[in-house]
Amino acid sequence: PTLIPGLAFFPGGRGVFQERRELPNFPFLKVMVIGQDFDNLSNYECSLRGGEENRKLATWKQLLNLLDRAGIPPTACFFTNAYMGLRETGKNTGPSPGQRSYSFRNECLTFFRRQLVLQQPRMILCLGLHAAAFLSLASPKLQVWALEQFSKIDAAGTGLVKEVQFTDCPLTVPAVALLVHPSHRRLNIKLRTFGSLHGDEAELALLRDALDYIGGAQILAA
């Protein structure tokens, strides 16, 4: 019902990184970071009272650390979600209840394409397997992400997919990368492989490969 004024994923907040309350420039032509859904109602209300999401919790803490090590400025990112709205009750992990509704899922796919057209990202970073399953519906080139297993996706060499065109969208995204969800990074990072690398080294190399492909960190810092 109300945007969280400080740092918060969209749609709970503006989805842009900000150290101050002034609204920063929108990261047009830069990076889209997409999770599954925002949160549950009680956590949203807590963030609203506090003015921003808690940066000390695993999602923001691990994500910002990974972006920093990869050389991706958080100011170059639009932080959004696949499924809009809030979970009214229950935990804020696991599959989104929204995915069980065919009509709602299609509405969210339409809105995702709208976000793509507005931002025109050079790179998409997908957080976790549930968001990956959503993106597998949005592009034929990402259908392998419907496997919902890092081992199978990485074995197929599709943790990073290049030149991705999305259905019913006049846009090709140069690089789309699948990451372990930061809230479960310590538990699941051991599952990742990229070439001959494993774990944290693999995912960091994947990110750097994606960054090099789109022209390097200087493109995002401009």
Question: What pLDDT digit, counting tens, does each position of 168-206 carry?
Answer: 998 999 999 999 999 999 999 999 999 999 999 999 999
Q: How many CB atoms lie within 10 A of CB 92?
A: 18
Over range 147-165, report the average pLDDT.
Answer: 93
Check residue 194 and give its pLDDT: 96
Q: Does position 212 have pLDDT exceeding 90, yes or no?
A: yes
Task: Convert the pLDDT of each residue in 83-101 to its tens digit.
Answer: 998 888 777 777 888 888 9
Minimal CA–CA distance to 24: which of 47, 6, 50, 42? 6
pLDDT averaged over the chain?
92
Task: Convert the pLDDT of each residue in 10-67 to its tens digit.
Answer: 999 999 997 766 677 899 999 999 999 998 899 999 999 999 999 999 999 999 999 9
Whether residue 153 contacts residue 159, with contact meaning beta carbons closer than 8 Å, is answered with: yes
Whether residue 30 contacts residue 121, with contact meaning beta carbons closer than 8 Å, is answered with: yes
Residue 161 binned pLDDT confidence (cut-offs 50, 70, 90): very high
pTM here is 0.94
Amino acid type, 144:
V
* CA dihedral of 128, 139, 193, 10, whole degrees rounded to 10: -30
Check residue 20 and give its pLDDT: 65
Minimal CA–CA distance to 53: which of 21, 88, 12? 12
Check residue 21 and give its pLDDT: 62
Whether residue 32 contacts residue 80, with contact meaning beta carbons closer than 8 Å, is answered with: yes
109 burial (CB, 10 Å; 0-12 / 13-18 / 19+) is buried
**pLDDT greater at residue 23 or residue 77:** 77
Structural tokens at position 109? 């796919």
Q: How far from the centroid of its chain's Cα atoms is residue 5's Cα?
A: 20
